Amino acid sequence: MPSRKSRFTRRKFIGATAAASVAFGVPTLLRAQARPIKVGLVHPITGFLAYSGGQSRMGAMMAIDEINAGGGIKSMGGAKLEALLGDNQAKPEVGVSVVEQMQEAGVSAYIGCFSSAVALPATQAAAKYNTPFVIDVGASDNIVNRGLKNVFRLKPGFNASVDDGILGLGEINKAAGNPAKSAVLVHEESEFGTGTAKLLAAKLPSIGIEVKEVMKHANPTRDFANLALRIRGLKPDLVIMSNYQNEYVLLARTLHQQKVDLVSMFSVLGGGFNYKFVKELPDVAQYMIDTNHWFDPTNPRAQAMKKRVEAKGDLFTFEVYLSYNAVKFLADGMERAGSADKEKVNAALAASTWSDHFMPYGPTRMVNGQNTGGKASIQQASRTDIEVIWPAKFASAKPVFPKPKFS
């Protein structure tokens, strides 16, 4: 494996303080190249978010390998990036501990954390050192709204994603002659689902869609039969979901089994909408629509990376390319800062106009650490693939809306 994984962790960590200052603080004369820049990856590698964490780590490592293969950070004499691999176990206390541990090892920036509950205290811990922290995945807008100067997020938060979803749904609905006039919202109970549903309920009337009911469900939910019954009773045109993978798939499957006829199944940040879902349950997935962080399908680099991930037998999920682009964004900032100095990197990231990504975004424009140039797109599943259907500029197919009836 070409990646430079850290060895710092092999050392007894209590003694690491003293050892680290010797090993990392003093430049080695023998080393011809510039000192490597340590990037801490703080993802949930074990515990109930382990899959997402693993996917994020894979995406970030691919970016690091690519940058190093291309000659490292050129303005810093070709300095290579070195990944410090951390596991936050989806627990706040572990996330903070990992941040501190990496700090002792001389980390220059962090990437993380998937879970907002971990990201909030972890970014706060990093803020003490003013160390740049790029949020690759993490929906809560509180992460960037707290006034921490070291925190940056490239992807849109759920607030912006909902706006994009509403805009797109409005246009798709209008183009089809407004077949959708009512909706039932189904969301999971934590911050992500609750926040998304609240915003949706407030904004759907503006595109002529009445919200018949908002249904909250627990994580995990073992059975959706009753929920499907109630939805059938309400006869909405749309079901709009915001939930994590397992519940997303289970609910979609139940509605399909119960043959609940709808104009469309729509979701905002639907956790289970991915290539695997289409492959495992093509009948269920077909025609489902999701608003999400998606790559630009017209960008050849995105397609090339998708091929590389799939060739390894892995899935090209949103975590992979969001983390990949987060690392690239960070590297661009370091390139422009010309130094790993935290102040300079933070300033470079805050002033970033980076556009070398393969997301359907414009150039980066940071406002209080949030990229306002980011945009969610809308995808629809066919029986065999996933197509971008909105915005038209990046679309790879036309929407099937309304979807065919069951009978």
Query: Binders of other proteins among 220-249, rule CB under 8 A?
Result: 220-227, 229-230, 233, 245-246, 249
Output the smallest distance, CB 277 to other proteins, in A. Answer: 8
Regarding 106 and contact with other proteins (CB under 8 A), the answer is no
Looking only at residues 138 through 157 of this chain, which bind other proteins when binding is defined by CB under 8 A? Answer: 142, 146-147
User: Taking CB under 8 A as the rule, does residue 276 contact other proteins?
Assistant: yes
Instruction: Report in angstroms how near the CB of residue 65 gets to other proteins at its nearest.
Output: 15
Fill in the DSSP letter of residue 383: S
| DSSP 8-state code for residue 8 | G
* Residues 264 and 294 sit within 8 Å (Cβ to Cβ): no
Query: Residue 235 carries which DSSP code?
Result: -
Q: Minimum CB separation from other proteins for residue 302, in Å?
A: 22
Q: Which residue in the set 23, 50, 76, 201 belongs to the binding site for other proteins (CB under 8 A)? A: 50
**CB 5 to other proteins: min, Å:** 6
Q: Is 65 in the site for other proteins (CB under 8 A)?
A: no
Q: Work out whether 14 is an interface residue with other proteins (CB under 8 A).
A: yes
Q: Kindly indicate which of the ranges 193-201, 294-302, 360-368, 378-386 contains the residues binding other proteins, using the contact rule CB under 8 A.
A: 193-201
CB nearer other proteins, residue 197 or residue 204: 197
Choose between 60 and 120: whose C-beta lies nearer to other proteins: 120
Helix (H) / strand (E) containing 3: none
Burial bucket for residue 384 (CB in 10 Å: 0-12, 13-18, 19+): exposed
Which 254-273 residues touch other proteins, going by CB under 8 A?
Answer: 256-259
Residue 57: half-sphere exposure toward Cβ, Cα within 13 Å: 21
Task: Give the residue with the Cβ less far from other proteins, 13 or 335.
Answer: 13
Nearest approach in angstroms of CB 21 to other proteins is: 9
One of 56, 173, 190, 264 touching other proteins (CB under 8 A): 190
- Which range binds other proteins by CB under 8 A, 66-74, 184-192, 262-270, 357-365? 184-192
Q: Does 159 bind other proteins (CB under 8 A)?
A: no
Measured between alpha carbons, how far is 217 from 247 in angstroms, rounded to an integer? 9
Q: Which is nearer to other proteins, 192 or 266 (CB)?
A: 192
State the minimum distance, in angstroms, from the CB of residue 46 to other proteins: 5
Among the listed residues 23, 76, 207, 215, the single contact to other proteins using CB under 8 A:
215
What does the DSSP assignment read for 359-399? SS--S--EETTEETT---EEEEE-SS-EEEEESGGG-SS--
Out of 45, 107, 169, 330, the residue judged to bind other proteins by CB under 8 A? 45
Q: b or e along 76-95 (b: 16 or more beta carbons within 10 Å of the residue's beta carbon)?
A: beebbbbbbbbbbbbbbebb
At 239, which helix (H) or strand (E)?
A: strand 238-242
- What would the DSSP string read from start to end of 79-90? BPEEEEEEE-TT
CA angle 10, 13, 18 (to 5 degrees): 110
For residue 172, give the H/E element and its range: helix 158-175
Shortest Å, Cβ 248 to other proteins = 10
Shortest separation between residue 153's beta carbon and other proteins, angstroms? 16
Q: Show the tokens assigned to 352.
A: 């970033």
Give counts: helices (H), strands (E), the chain: 14, 14
> In the window 79-98, what residues touch other proteins (CB under 8 A)?
85-87, 89, 91-94, 96-98
CB atoms within 10 A of CB 198: 15
Only one of the segments 25-33, 114-122, 347-355, 398-406 lies at the binding site for other proteins (rule: CB under 8 A); that segment is 114-122
Residue 392 to residues 137, 172, 180, 195, Cα–Cα distance (Å): 25, 10, 20, 27
Q: Which of 132, 157, 170, 193 binds other proteins (CB under 8 A)?
A: 193
Of 189, 210, 310, 356, the one binding other proteins (CB under 8 A) is: 189
CB of 132 to other proteins, least distance (A): 18
Q: Toward other proteins, which CB reaches closer, 282 or 363?
A: 282
Q: Residue count at the site for other proteins (CB under 8 A)?
A: 78
Residues constituting the chain: 407
Nearest-approach distance from CB 366 to other proteins, in angstroms: 20
Contact 112, 94 (CB under 8 A): no
Nearest to 55 by CA among 260, 264, 255, 271: 271
Q: What six digits make up the tokens of 365?
A: 């424009």
Q: How far apart are CA 13 and CA 97, in angstroms?
A: 12
Residue 230 structure tokens:
């109630």
